[in-house]
Amino acid sequence: MSDNANMVSLSSEVIETVIGGQTRFKGNVKTNKPIRIDGVFEGDIDSTNLVLVTEGGRVKGNIKCSELQLKGTGEGTANCTQLMQFASTGSYSGDITVGSLITVPGAFFNGSCRMVKPAAAAETKPEGFEAL
């Protein structure tokens, strides 16, 4: 079974925005819906939802999203508040900030990784709680 079949998605929304495999897009996108990149995207992506870079897809620019699934190639800075996942075909060069990170053998990452608590999973301290 391919590791791509095992990728977990936190988003249950239908992907309406697609940059097709034969498309090269230059510019910035801001959306609250999932977006799929099959072609080449040069610019910044600002999403409160899923960004999916498929095998053969490429992103060069900064990505801010809740979830990034990387089956293709990315280059730039990524800030994923919830989850970043690499398939075996995925590669990323640049610094990332993630809530959670999932990678499999064959994936490639070159950069620094900073992990923060996912926004939805941030602990709240009970009233009267004091740190040690």
pLDDT in tens, 15-42: 788 888 898 999 999 999 999 999 999 9
**Residue 128 domain flag:** no
Torsion region of 62: left, alpha or beta (phi above 0 gives left; psi -120 to 50 gives alpha): beta
**Residue 132 domain flag:** no
**Residue 126 domain flag:** no
- Considering only CA atoms, which of 21, 85, 24 is closest in space to residue 50? 85
**Residue 17 domain flag:** yes
State the average pLDDT over residues 39-62.
95
Residue 131 reports pLDDT greater than 50: no
**Residue 122 domain flag:** no
The values of phi and psi at residue 6, to 5°, are -90, 0
What residue has token string 């870079």? 53
Evaluate if pTM is beyond 0.95.
no
Domain residues for the domain of 112 are 3-117
Say how many residues make up the chain.
132
- Considering only CA atoms, which of 61, 65, 58, 60 is closest in space to residue 10? 65
Residue 121: pLDDT band with limits 50, 70, 90? very low
**Residue 124 domain flag:** no
Number of domains present in the structure of the chain: 1
State the average pLDDT over residues 115-128.
57
**Residue 129 domain flag:** no
- Considering only CA atoms, which of 21, 63, 56, 11 is closest in space to residue 42? 63
**Residue 125 domain flag:** no
